Amino acid sequence: MRRTLIRRLIRFGVSLAVLVLAAFAMIHLIPGDPVRASLGPAAPVELVEARRAALGLDRPLPEQLVTYVSGLVTGDMGTSFLTGEPVTAVIAARLPNTLTLALLATAAALLAAVPLGMWAAVRTENGRNRGTEATFGGVTSAVVAVPEFLYAIALVAVFAIGLRLLPPAGQSGPESYLLPVLALALGPAAMLARIARVETLRVLGTDYVRLARAKRLPAARLHLRHVLPNTLTATLTLGGLLLGSLIAGSVLVEYVFAWPGLGGKIVEAITQKDYPVAQGVILVYGAVVLLVNLLVDVVLGVLDPTSAIKES
């Protein structure tokens, strides 16, 4: 387990270093002059050169890289081209809203998927109820196939504009969380339900479940005490990975709902050519995803030590 943890920490460090290099290269791979692009073609040459010098973009690349990494270590991610506000301040103000949305969506997906997947497995065990199996598979496949932003648009059209039951945008209270959380959770819930069904069918076929049935244990006790705990390992693992993807994949959903998170900010930064802000947000998204994946690996190793043994 210790060797596995060290190996995963090394993998995390290498991935984080690659991410930092990619974020640094982003501003240098943009065709043309990013400062000129942000200030506009009519900006005087003196202003462009002064801004480049203030941002350190006139220095050699190795020196810029050292300065950039040193800034990251001390919490300095640069300043906005447009407002002059520190990028760390922009991220600190918006990251909690994005994390809250992703955590709520992940929790909602798990709470819906596990019971649904277990119910489908019990109903279709040993080839019974072919119609239920076909319906479950078809509906969950269709739900997974639809992008989150289309769910967001449809939910706004139905519940906010059509029925006028919920606010269409913004963060105005508990009710404002419902539509964006639902838009983010629908696809992952369907995917997790499919995983939960497969895992439940596997557990239902084990010897200890057959023994428990031979002892005529009540169905509720059998499913809750013997089947559910052994079903959750793979489902929770995938749920943790989905949390990372939801954090990075909430960009368009946040934009549709005008949510005050990082998603709307990165769209705004890209359209307005505010490259330091876009660079910082992309770096934070990537670092959060890597950190979530590391935590999922560690938790899985604790819950299922055989996975660490197999990897070693």
What's the whole-number mean pLDDT along residues 32-47?
A: 74
Q: What is the pLDDT of residue 310?
A: 47
Question: What's the whole-number mean pLDDT along residues 127-146?
Answer: 87
* pTM of the model as a whole: 0.77
Indicate whether 30 pLDDT > 70.
no
| 234-244 pLDDT tens trace | 677 777 777 77
Distance of alpha carbon 67 from alpha carbon 87, whole angstroms: 15
Please give the pLDDT value at position 31. 64
* % of the chain surpassing 90 pLDDT: 12
Segment 260-309, tens digit of pLDDT:
888 888 888 877 778 788 888 888 888 888 888 788 777 766 665 554 44
pLDDT for 309 equals: 41
The rounded distance, in Å, linking the Cα atoms of 79 and 280 is 10
State the pLDDT at residue 164.
87
Judged against a pLDDT cut of 70, whether residue 182 lies above it is answered with: yes
Q: Please tell me which residue, 43 or 100, carries the higher pLDDT value.
A: 100
- In this prediction, residue 308 carries a pLDDT of 45
Among 61-75, 217-231, 296-310, the least confident range: 296-310
